[in-house]
Amino acid sequence: MKAMGERTEPSKGRVEETPRTREGVPAPAQEATARRGAGMWENLAWSIGPILLGLILTTLALLAVGANPVRAYTVMWKGAFGNAAQFSNVVSSWVPLALASVGLLITFTAGLWNIGIEGQIIMGAIFTAWTARTFDWPAEALIPALFISGIIGGAAWALLAGVLKTYGHVHEIFGGLGLNFVATGVTLYLIIGPWKRAGIASTSGTELFRPAAWLPTFPGGMAVGPIEIAVAVVSLVIVYFALRGTLWGLKLKAIGKNIRSAYWIGISTRLHLLGAFALCGAFAGMAGTVQAIGVWHRLIPAISGGYGYLGILVVLLSGFQAAGLAPVAFFFAAVSKGSVALPLDLQLDSSLGGVLQGIIVLLVILSQGVRARVQRAGASARIDSAVLASPVGPTAAPVEANENPPL
Amino acid sequence: MKKVLLIAALVVLFAALAACSPAPTPAPTAAPPTTAPQATTAPTTAPTAAATKAATTAPTSAATTAATKAPTTAATTAATTAATSSPTTATKSITFGVVLVGPYNDHGWSEANYIAANYVKQKLPGSDFIYLDKLNPSDRPGTTLEQVVTDMASKGVKLILTTSDDFQTDTTTAAQKHPDLTFINVSGDNAWKDGKNYKGLKNLGNFMGKMEYMKMVAGCAAALTTQTGKIGFLGPLVNDETRRLADSAYLGARYCWTTYAKKDPSALKFDVKWIGYWFNIPGVTLDPTQVANGFYDAGNDVVISGIDTTEALVVAGQRQKQGQKVYALSYDYINGCNEAPDACLGVPYFNWGPRYLKTVRDFAAGTWQPGWYWDGPDWKDINNPDTSAVGFTYGKALSNANKATIQNQFIPGMADGSISLWKGPVTLQDGSTYIAAGSTATDQQIWYMPQLLQGMTGASAPTK
């Protein structure tokens, strides 16, 4: 919330009621805690508490199935960071996850729940696959073209959800969900239809792309290369600054906070919403490109890898902050990759990694709610509480996610 | 800042937890979980071993894997399987990796491979394996074979068996990328010198069982049992392997239908339906339960399963309970009838154990050579666990008369070559002659089966 709060300040009189914030804590809560002198330590407790609790709950679950928790965590750690190749696996998973998250941050900032991101990743991969299968170009020309194809595919699919939302009044959750199914259907159709391998009818995937369409990897059997890392890092940096330091970013936040007010102060909300969709789709599409030419080297039905949905958790856990995306996505990638080592070593199901991720996200969100409630109660007589409890606005559901404490 | 702290704390915690655990923990804690599943499979393999041949050796070999008696029991089995073994010195430790496409306990394809890995562990002192099951994009989105390879390699594994046709491309890529590791793709052909897809890699091998024979037996059992003359074949995806297995089942059915049942070949209906993958993936494949039900609703009273899992038999069992006289043949796994014994005519199954053992033993001895092996049944006893690569478990629902026909006429006929169903004329679904009258199909012609055969209905996805 830090970047958001600071930058929306100039227009706060009209756009949002919340006063200036510092250090990522919403003003009311912050002032209340400052007054009580707890400050930083309390912040820290609220941050670490849910994570500790998450680890404790996961540990209890491990004990309940008769596993050694310390050993389980060690195995996961080694599975993610045991050697360079394993670390490269984590990074290869971090790239599409970071791209999906950075796209989602844009739509979340605009107050949109872009559930359709899975479909946008898939569509990016489909467009990429088409280009890879169609043009017999050298790698230097082909790889940029592949990324552009992914961007076009993802953005177009996102715009479809955007048009459904802005012109058809179809909520983006339902529109997106529907489009996800359609995208999967298109993939399946292509894989067992026009793009099927000669003499084979299988949903397992298309033929491998030719080598020119493969993203190069670092030597020594690494799973990842410089291009996709650069794409992800540049994307993170661009979005960080675009949301933080541009008028466009400011307007997007205004829409996210309260679309009606934003409209009344003269922001073309429809255009901005469509833009947010398209941009998110573009990043998602690149995630699809990376999945297609960096990870699988072909089109498969589950090409999205679930990174779209996982990206939603990443954004939630990072508190809707661009700066938090990279580390949180990295943590998720490490848990996902590390947990594959669990069945190898301990005969434990690797879904434990998913359990850990889910529990932590849940508890962090829960703790934010509890914290708001506790502090509201503590300062009930104050005007702050009135501000905190003030209604959020007409586009309630998405905007709530953007407001920090009162979930 | 708060959130950054949060993340930092998280990473630190994770690191701290990892650091807290000293190295010595692995051995003692790892042992119980790895052996636990063992206990569940041991009883299933032991009885069959005992039943067929080594009634006295099976229990001892199970009990003495770690003991000093191992060499003697190993010697008895080694004599029948591999010539290169040196039982007394075979204590060199080796851990191999196995990658399964489905759950290790799927009562089908993956379980058959899992059993084979355990067979090696029992028979080869000092050997052990690690495995990862459910490696498919639906169960493990984002997990590639490449990652599993690096994970296994980090544990010192040098030999990795990838046990699905679905892994063939990625296995070959991995073999090119990791020349220090050796790969076996079970059911693949990239290591077949005389095959169409030979890659010439020094660290890649293939093997497969000649399931065609047992599919012929399955087809025969179906044809002898059916009252409606309509047999359904529940197919996975369409490729060379599945076409040749479906075709084999049909050839067996047609032979027994005309020769033993003395019926008109044109009265036999053999319908093939493909679900799109080796097992059910909701939203991606057709639901095999629905397809099986569809078969029975359409008047088929026997369904032959060609997929990795047991849906066809389960459906047949449910329908039997409702009083219908319908049957199914399972696939892949020796105990595949257990899901619904009363509806089960039998299971053509893979007995991967002997080839696994030979591969791992050779690899440990440093004598392994890249190659492609297509192992047939031991015609003296197709159900010998130590010598036969494929076998057939007779189901409870198969009548004694039909069982006798199969056991005393059909199988011996195939064994001595008097029944050779790949002898021409073999006509493809499109009417073209595939094997001319008088000649017999080559291995290549059988392996790279381009279409279903004339007389069968269903999609071929033809290669030509």
Looking at the domain assignment, is residue B252 inside a domain? yes
Residue B429 lies in a domain: no
Last residue of a domain, one of B188, B209, B230: B209
Residues B169, A70: C-beta atoms closer than 8 Å: no
- Please check whether residue A333 touches B, CB under 8 A: no
Distance CA A265, CA B458 (A): 64
Closest listed residue to residue A104, CA positions, set A154, A152, A149: A154
Q: Would the CB atoms of B9 and A318 count as touching at under 8 Å?
A: no
Question: Are B182 and B205 part of one and the same domain?
Answer: yes
Structural domain harbouring B335:
212-349+395-416
Q: B17 vs A73: CB contact, 8 Å cut-off?
A: yes
Decide if B396 contacts B344 (C-beta within 8 A): yes
**Residue A233 Cα distances to A91, A97, A99, A239, B440, angstroms:** 12, 12, 9, 10, 61
In terms of domains, do B151 and B277 share one?
A: no
C-alpha distance from A204 to closest chain B C-alpha (Å): 7
For residue B288 the two structure tokens come to: 């095999």
DSSP codes, A292-310: IIIIISS--TTTTTTHHHH
Q: Do B134 and B271 reside in the same domain of the chain? A: no
**Looking at the predicted structure, is the pLDDT value of residue B214 above 90?**
yes
Name the average pLDDT for chain A.
84
Q: What's the confidence (pLDDT) of residue A380? A: 63
Say whether B25 and A70 touch across the interface (CB within 8 A).
yes
Residue A385, pLDDT above cutoff 80: no
Picking from B209, B244, B260, the residue at the C-terminal end of a domain is B209
Residues in chain B closer than 8 A to A298 (CB atoms): 169
Question: Which H/E stretch holds residue B137?
Answer: none
Residue A315 has pLDDT above 50, yes or no: yes
- Check CB contact under 8 Å for B154 and A83: yes
| Angle made by CA atoms B90, B93, B94, in degrees to the nearest 5 | 110
In a domain, B45, yes or no: yes
Closest-CA residue to A147 (of A317, A361, A367, A294) = A294
CB atoms A200 and B151 under 8 Å: no
B129: helix, strand or coil:
strand
Q: Of the candidates A24, A70, A296, which has its C-beta nearest B17's C-beta?
A: A70
Query: Dihedral sign, CA of A46, A52, A53, A55?
Result: positive
Is the residue at B364 inside a domain? no
Model pLDDT, residue B90: 46
**Same structural domain for residues B196 and B300?**
no
- Beta carbons of B13 and A55 less than 8 Å apart: yes
Considering only CA atoms, which of A316, A266, A275, A238 is closest in space to residue A110? Answer: A275
CA-CA distance, A95 to B206, in Å (whole number)? Answer: 34
Mean pLDDT of B322-343: 96
Q: What is the mean pLDDT of residues B172-199?
A: 95
pLDDT class of A320 with cuts at 50, 70, 90? confident
Please state, as a whole number, how many other Cβ atoms lie within 10 Å of the Cβ of residue B38: 13
Is residue B440 situated within a structural domain? no
Partner-chain residue, chosen from B2, B33, B239, that has the shortest CB–CB distance to A43: B2
Are residues B227 and B277 both part of a single domain? yes
Q: Would you say residue A13 has pLDDT above 60?
A: no
With a cut of 80, say whether residue A40 has pLDDT above it.
Answer: no
Residues A105, A243: Cα–Cα separation, whole Å:
9
Domain end among B177, B209, B241: B209
Kindly determine whether residue B18 and residue A340, on different chains, have CB atoms separated by under 8 Å.
Answer: no
Domain match, B171 and B242 both? no
Q: What is the DSSP letter of B155?
A: T
Q: Which residue is associated with the tokens 């052909």? A: B189
In sequence order, which residues have a C-beta less than 8 Å from that of residue A60 and are 6 or more positions away?
none
Residue B45 and residue B118 in contact, taking contact as beta carbons nearer than 8 Å: yes
pLDDT over threshold 50, residue A389: no
Task: Judge: B3–A348 Cβ closer than 8 Å, yes or no.
Answer: no
Residues of chain A with C-beta less than 8 angstroms from the C-beta of B285: 203
User: Residue B360: enclosing H or E segment and its boundaries?
Assistant: helix B353-365
Q: Which pLDDT value is given to residue A39?
A: 66
Q: Same structural domain for residues B243 and B193? A: no
pLDDT above 50: residue B41 = no
Model pLDDT for residues B383-399, shown as the tens digit of each residue: 999 999 999 999 999 99
Could you give the percent of chain A with pLDDT greater than 70? 83
Same domain assignment for residues B263 and B400:
yes
B62 min Cα distance to partner chain A (Å): 22
Strand, coil or helix: B391: strand
Please indicate whether, in this complex, the C-beta atoms of A301 and B147 are within 8 angstroms of each other.
no
Two tokens at B54?
Answer: 């080594």
| A354-359 LR contacts (CB < 8 Å, sep 24+) | A355/A58, A355/A61, A356/A54, A356/A55, A356/A58, A357/A310, A357/A313, A357/A332, A358/A313, A359/A54, A359/A57, A359/A58
DSSP-assigned letter for residue B343: G
Name the one residue in this structure whose structure tokens are 């709950």.
A57
Per-residue pLDDT reduced to its tens digit, A204-247: 899 999 999 999 999 988 999 999 999 999 999 999 999 998 99
Contacts of B257 (CB under 8 A, 6+ apart): B223, B224, B263, B265, B268
Mean pLDDT of B126-130: 95
Q: What is the DSSP track for A213-246?
A: GSPP--TTT-S--HHHHHHHHHHHHHHHHHHHHS
Q: Which residues pair with B440 in a beta bridge?
A: B423
What pLDDT score was predicted for residue A321? 87
Note the pLDDT tens digit of each residue in B231-281. 999 999 999 999 999 999 999 999 999 999 999 999 999 999 999 999 999
Q: What is the mean pLDDT of residues A298-325?
A: 91
Select the residue from B277, B280, B284 to test the A interface by mutation, using most A Cβ atoms within 10 A: B284
Of A44, A67, A295, the CB nearest to B144: A295
Listed in sequence order, the DSSP H helices in A258-350 are 259-264, 269-290, 307-317, 322-338, 341-346
Q: Which of A223, A300, A302 minimises the CB distance to B147?
A: A223
CA distance A243 to B399: 75
Confidence at residue B453, expressed as pLDDT on a 0 to 100 scale: 97
* B110 and B54 together in one domain: yes
Cα distances (angstroms) measured from residue B106 to each of A89, A182, B166, B185, B280: 28, 31, 17, 20, 12
| Cα B430 from Cα B67, distance rounded (Å) | 60
Contact list, A319 vs chain B (CB under 8 Å): 2-3, 6
Min Cα distance A223 → chain B (Å) is 8
Q: Domain count for chain B, please give it.
A: 2
Average pLDDT over residues B3-19: 42
Are B196 and B262 members of one domain? no
Residue B293 belongs to some domain of the structure: yes
More reliable by pLDDT, B364 or A7:
B364
CATH code, B40: 3.40.50.2300
Q: What is the pLDDT of residues A134-161, one digit of tens each?
A: 999 999 999 999 999 999 999 999 999 9
| Whole-number pLDDT of residue A350 | 78
Model pLDDT for residues A46-60, shown as the tens digit of each residue: 777 888 888 898 899
Stretch 276-295 of chain A: residues touching chain B, C-beta under 8 Å:
295
- Number of neighbours of residue A139 by Cβ within 10 angstroms: 16
Residue B457 inside a domain? The answer is no
Gap from A87 CA to chain B (nearest CA, Å):
10
3-state secondary structure of A399: helix
Residue B135 lies in a domain: yes
Closest Cα in chain A, distance from residue B285 (Å): 7
Nearest to A24 among B2, B144, B459 (CB): B2
Q: Do residues B196 and B232 both lie within one domain?
A: no
- Percent of chain B residues topping a pLDDT of 70: 80
Give yes or no for residue A34 having a pLDDT over 90. Answer: no
* B168 and B122 fall within a common domain: yes
CA distance A118 to chain B (A): 13
pLDDT band at B91 (very low <50, low <70, confident <90, very high): low
- Tell me the angle at which helices A269-290 and A84-109 cross, rounded to the nearest 10 degrees: 170
Residue A60 contacts B where some CB pair is shorter than 8 Å: no
The C-alpha of B19 sits at a distance from chain A's nearest C-alpha, in angstroms, of 8
